[in-house]
Amino acid sequence: MNIGPIIRELRLRLGITQKELADGVCTQAEISRIESGKTIPCVDILYAISLKCGVTLDYFFHGYHDVDYHYVEITKETIRELVREKRYDEVQILVERERINPCFHQAKDQKFLLWHKGMVLYYRDRDYKQALHVLQEAMEISVPDLSLTETDIEIMITRGNVHMEINQIQEAISTFQWCLERFKQLVQPKNPTIAIRIQYNLSLAFNKAQQHLEATQALEKAIQTCIKLDTLYLLGELYYQMGYSLVQMNRVGAALEYATLAYSLFHIRSREPYLQHTIQLLDTINSRLKYSVVP
């Protein structure tokens, strides 16, 4: 079996060069020979490549073109889309159906399904205790060849949200900080915007703990990541939270700037509920500006 084309397609999908893939693994020339099928990588090199690309070894033998792989990935994306749309009844139906589907037999796929079962328990059923239990079960599923996956980090983000919801604020802060440290350890994250989400959630927890300075520091890092990645992901929410945090610190002049940026983004993207919250924040800021010296 020639796995060179599979490695090449995976590398291109991750957006990295042969030189970047080879760094710490082998020479660029060796990667070139592997991808062209001129040589077969030894198990040590293949294992190092799998770690760098965030996949398990069996990925190279089942392949990106495998029918089961396509089915699993399409189903996962469907579940993610249903979560974004908050259609949790449908999420539960899909999760329960796929848990007994042989296509989802791999540990990483079972972990994904358990994670989303926990999300249903949290977001729809508001059963926080059972949600934490199921999320812990998901974390305990070991994925061969990988000590830590992006899914593990996302599961822990959900756990942090549950802790924050039930006012276990310090536990939430510790959880989000754990997520940040582990995310930094990933060699080639598939989804770099996860770092933005962690910092955003951390800022929410800091604000709940009345640690507004720490909240602004987390938000600034997240905003800089958005700029670096050239993405609008959560940017409006980040600007809003920055405005809110600065108001709590009585820095109303700076708060006005961020709240105005948030309003502009929400207006452009027609996000009505967020617009209303931002208008309320702007009213608060303008009211304070009338009676205080702008810092």
pTM of the complete model beyond 0.95: no
Query: What's the pLDDT at 61?
Result: 67
Q: Report pLDDT digits (tens) over 34-90.
A: 998 888 887 778 888 888 887 777 677 664 445 466 778 888 988 999 999 899 999
Query: What's the pLDDT at 54?
Result: 79
Query: What's the pLDDT at 281?
Result: 97
- Quickly state the pLDDT bin for 282 (edges 50, 70, 90): very high
- Alpha-carbon distance of 130 to 156, in angstroms, equals 15
